[in-house]
Structure 1
Amino acid sequence: MNGAQRRLALVLGAGFLLTLAAVMVANVESTLSDFALAGVHETRTHVWIWEATSILAWLTTAPVIWWLVRHIGPPRFSWPVAVGLILLASVPLSLWHIGLMIELRKLYYAAEGSHYRFFSKASDRLLYEYRKDLASYFQFVGFAAASRWLVMRAAVPATDVEPPHILKVADGAVTHQVPVDEIDHVNAAGNYVELAWAGRTLLHRATLAAVAAELGPAFVQIHRSRLVRRAAVRRVETDRSGDFTVTLADGTSLRGSRRYRDSVQD
């Protein structure tokens, strides 16, 4: 991520935590108010423990939810299938949330010398908790999707450094002045890289990372050992595995790794 993306991610993360804190306070006060009206006697500490353990259990599911948002969707799956898979994932995640929440509460109650009892009639209580969890789950999914979209939009190239237009490539006694916008793709080859330029291949002594930095944002990495010029890409075809093939303007087909699929489709 660039600097703008990191700053945005930090702001979004801080906002998310502040929102959770506000929700916790609101839920605790609402529960205490309901208990008072119903004549139920419960300590404020216990109500806070209930809410805190629920939030903590939900936070442990965040990496899984983020993974789902990042990997389940077009072009790998159509939107109806993606929505179905995300809905299906709510069942095991809700069970995880409920189970971890109960165990954390049991640990606290045991530490104070008492016993925590969650289930009255298990099937009814699980269904009740799942219905509540479904709303929280989709809020997490929605936040993750919106955050990822915002962070990806912030992936703009730096404007303070102008990409070079010419790449100098030594070839024995000859130094080629290679226009960057005429290079179609670059492949790593040991201590060298192979530059595909004007129907020929030039061998350039450099690392792929160094060449990528020198070529600038006009090129995108599609594999750990391969770069392509964005403007040369004519088609991207994704396999079931998530790997993909890009077809360039001159008809060249190059394989790409699923790890880099999002970068070539942005």
Structure 2
Amino acid sequence: MTAREAGTSGGSRGTSGGWIAAVLFVALTAIHLVVNALSQRSDFDSEPAHHIWLWEASSALGWCLLAWPIWHAVALLRPPRAGWPAAVGAHLALSVAASAIHVAVMVALRKAVYAGWGETYVFADNLPASLIYEYRKDLLTYVQIAASFGLIRWIAESRIVPIAREQTAPAPVLEIADGAVTHRVPVAEIDWAASAGNYVEIGRGERTLLHRSTLTALADRLGEDFVRIHRGRLVRRAAVARIETDRSGDFTVTLAGGQTLRGSRRYRGGL
């Protein structure tokens, strides 16, 4: 299993903490909405309560719509994929776009709801000054969201990598079923393996066993001590005693036990 299969692209673990980030973001946004609304109600006694709740809800919804793009931006721009100067510059540019979208969403929602109430919503008398004021607030919010998402990704991926390494570790013993008998073959004693239809031939000394598996699945399980020398053949590196290369680039591997195996030039670099 690769790190991607272990959770970086979906599955039961989510997309590198994506579901965790989504739940935390919605929960914290809801808390922030309530706290801000209650605080503004005490600051603006003359303002109707439903106005204040609308202001906060429209702002929160704007950030909810931006959360997923910011999550992906953090993944794409994180070092070492991008250098720190480039990442910071890109995030600053994205923060301007995010602020513009946030303001557009919340103003549109407020105007629509106010119109439903038979009222008129005025965003600002001085638009440039108001946009600068909003950007200063939105920049701080963007930084907080991006930093939080970066931390969640780092924690999630630091947990995924050890799990993936553990699951791809070479198996010390390979169990091979043979009718009512199960052979427990130490991996270190397997010299070679070759594809045989729906089975794989396992070479252990002078004996050959049939194991129901694909060669690719077996290669993943055996680990890095084994190398493919042919499209349908694996060999344990430590079992190789001699390599003889033909003029064509194909080669013959002689094992310590005396067996010889043919290898393709396409796979010569593995040895």
Q: What is the TM-score when the length of structure 2 is the normalising length?
A: 0.61
User: 1:264 aligns to what?
Assistant: none
CA deviation string 1:129-181 (max 9, x = no partner): 11111111111101110111111122142769986455953248982447432
CA distance in 1, matches of 2:149, 2:60: 16
CA distance in 2, matches of 1:26, 1:161: 47
Gaps of 5+ in 1: 185-196, 205-249, 253-266
- Using the TM superposition, name which of 6-15 and 122-131 deviates more: 6-15
Label 1:202 to 1:26 Cα distance change in 2 as closer, same or farther (>3 A): same
Q: Which amino acid aligns with 1:169?
A: A
Secondary structure, aligned partner of 2:118: coil
User: 2:30 aligns to what?
Assistant: 21
Contact 1:5 1:154 in 2 (8 A): no
Does residue 1:180 correspond to 2:186, yes or no?
A: no
Give structure 1 regions of 4+ aligned residues with deviation exceeding 6 angstroms: 158-162
CA distance in 2, matches of 1:203, 1:59: 51
CA deviation string 1:65-86 (max 9, x = no partner): 1111101132332112211211
Shift of 1:118: 0.4
Shift of 1:182: 2.9
Aligned with residue 132 of structure 1, among 131, 137, 156: 137
Q: Which amino acid aligns with 1:202?
A: R
Q: Percent identity?
A: 32
Gaps of 5+ in 2: 1-6, 173-186, 204-218, 234-267
Does residue 1:30 correspond to 2:43, yes or no?
A: no
Shift of 1:17: 2.1
> Aligned pair count?
189
User: 1:202 aligns to what?
Assistant: 231
Contact 2:16 2:156 in 1 (8 A): no
Does residue 1:157 correspond to 2:158, yes or no?
A: no
Shift of 1:99: 0.6
Q: Which amino acid aligns with 1:157?
A: I
CA distance in 1, matches of 2:159, 2:19: 13
User: 2:72 aligns to what?
Assistant: 67
User: 1:77 aligns to what?
Assistant: 82
Q: What is the TM-score when the length of structure 1 is the normalising length?
A: 0.62
Label 1:162 to 1:32 Cα distance change in 2 as closer, same or farther (>3 A): same
Shift of 1:89: 1.1
Once superposed, what is the RMSD of the aligned Cα atoms?
3.1
Q: Which amino acid aligns with 1:103?
A: A
